[in-house]
């Protein structure tokens, strides 16, 4: 028994029509006419379009509507059954809707949440403080030691006399004091026995020797390329507080624990026992260098320089 699609195709071929002819007349796609003749209504975007195109197809072939009535009724029945099934499934599915807020606040729960947040914040602050404490006391020192620690061979004890490279100039007989130098503006030396006046033939004022009783060894040479204040301590006692100008130099002989602080570390070049050190900082940084037993280390990573009066 022929299906409806087969009967429509046979009727079309009797009239000598082709599917493209029907498509041109109705502006319906060729694929939809082929789906009608293949009895595949599921290829239509909806059952309504299938029934509408089916009526138009029968009308172009001069067939009565009764020829496609049974197929139209079957399509309507299937559509209604699908709608009933869809509604039944929609009733079975009940979405879980949370209750609407009542506007009331549980003070106990809210207090617990805020206390937990505050505890977390305090914990983070404590951890940051501990990390900063350890960095300031140990981490920074380890960083500097691993970065710029130079261990030199112990220097041979040197006599108190001035080296031949820097001969001293005796002062005039009438004055009996050293000539004024650019360092004269520095604050007075606070160490007992400091050089208030030097007799003829003594060391040059640009060489700071250890006090009597301290065995000298090695030397730290400072060459200034710009203005830089320099402070020095030996065994915890200050012996130096000067401002070096561009081109000036200073030599500090070793002995005990010598600590030197530079107000603008980028303006000085330093030699330890004749060996040039890498730059210890940049202009505007304050750096501290400690020299002891023929070795040196940097004690800080650098801070903005503080002008000295």
pLDDT tens, position by position, 241-260: 999 999 999 999 888 899 99
Asked if residue 272 lies in contact with residue 297, where contact means CB atoms within 8 angstroms, the answer is no
In the prediction, which pLDDT does 103 show?
Answer: 65
- pLDDT tens digits for the chain (309 residues)? 778 888 888 888 888 888 888 888 888 888 888 888 888 888 888 888 888 888 888 888 888 888 888 888 888 888 888 888 887 777 776 667 777 766 677 788 889 989 999 999 999 999 999 988 887 777 655 655 554 444 433 444 444 444 444 444 444 443 333 333 333 333 444 443 334 334 433 444 688 888 887 878 889 999 999 999 899 999 889 999 999 999 999 999 888 899 999 988 889 999 998 889 999 888 888 999 999 877 888 887 555 544 444
pLDDT digits (tens, 9 = 90+) for 12-33: 888 888 888 888 888 888 888 8
Domains and CATH numbers, the chain: 4-92 (1.10.260.40), 149-167+182-192+204-304 (no CATH)
Would you state the pLDDT for residue 53?
84
Inter-residue contact 232 to 240 (CB < 8 Å) = yes
What is the reported pLDDT for 143? 55
pLDDT of residue 108: 86
Position 101 scores a pLDDT of 67
What's residue 182's pLDDT?
37
Q: What's the pLDDT score for residue 232?
A: 94
């Amino acid at each position: 028994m022929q299906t409806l699609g087969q009967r429509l195709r046979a009727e079309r071929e009797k009239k000598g029509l082709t599917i493209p002819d029907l498509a041109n007349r109705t502006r319906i796609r060729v694929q939809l006419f082929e789906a009608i003749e293949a009895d595949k209504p599921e290829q239509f975007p909806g059952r309504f379009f299938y029934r509408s195109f089916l009526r138009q197809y029968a009308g172009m072939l001069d067939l009565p509507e009764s020829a496609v009535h049974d197929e139209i009724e079957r399509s309507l029945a299937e559509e209604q059954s699908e709608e009933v099934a869809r509604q039944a499934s929609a009733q079975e599915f009940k979405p879980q809707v949370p209750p609407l807020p009542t506007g009331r606040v549980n003070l106990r729960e809210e207090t617990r949440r805020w206390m937990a947040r505050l505890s977390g914040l305090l914990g983070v602050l404590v951890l940051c403080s501990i990390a900063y404490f350890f960095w300031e006391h140990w981490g920074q020192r380890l960083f500097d030691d691993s970065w710029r620690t130079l261990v030199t061979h112990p220097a041979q004890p040197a006599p108190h006399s001035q080296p031949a490279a820097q001969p001293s100039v005796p002062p005039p007989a009438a004055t009996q004091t050293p000539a004024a130098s650019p360092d004269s503006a520095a604050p007075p030396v606070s160490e007992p026995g400091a050089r208030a006046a030097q007799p003829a033939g003594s060391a040059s004022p640009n060489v700071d020797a250890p006090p009597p009783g301290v065995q000298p060894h090695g030397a730290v040479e400072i060459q200034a390329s710009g203005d830089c204040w320099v402070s020095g301590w030996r065994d915890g006692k200050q012996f130096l507080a000067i401002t070096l100008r561009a081109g000036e130099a200073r030599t500090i002989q070793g002995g005990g624990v010598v600590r030197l602080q530079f107000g603008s570390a980028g303006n000085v070049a330093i030699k330890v026992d004749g060996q040039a050190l890498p730059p210890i900082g940049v202009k505007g940084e304050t750096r501290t260098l400690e020299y002891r037993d023929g070795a040196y280390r940097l004690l800080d990573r650098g801070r903005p320089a503080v002008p000295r009066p």
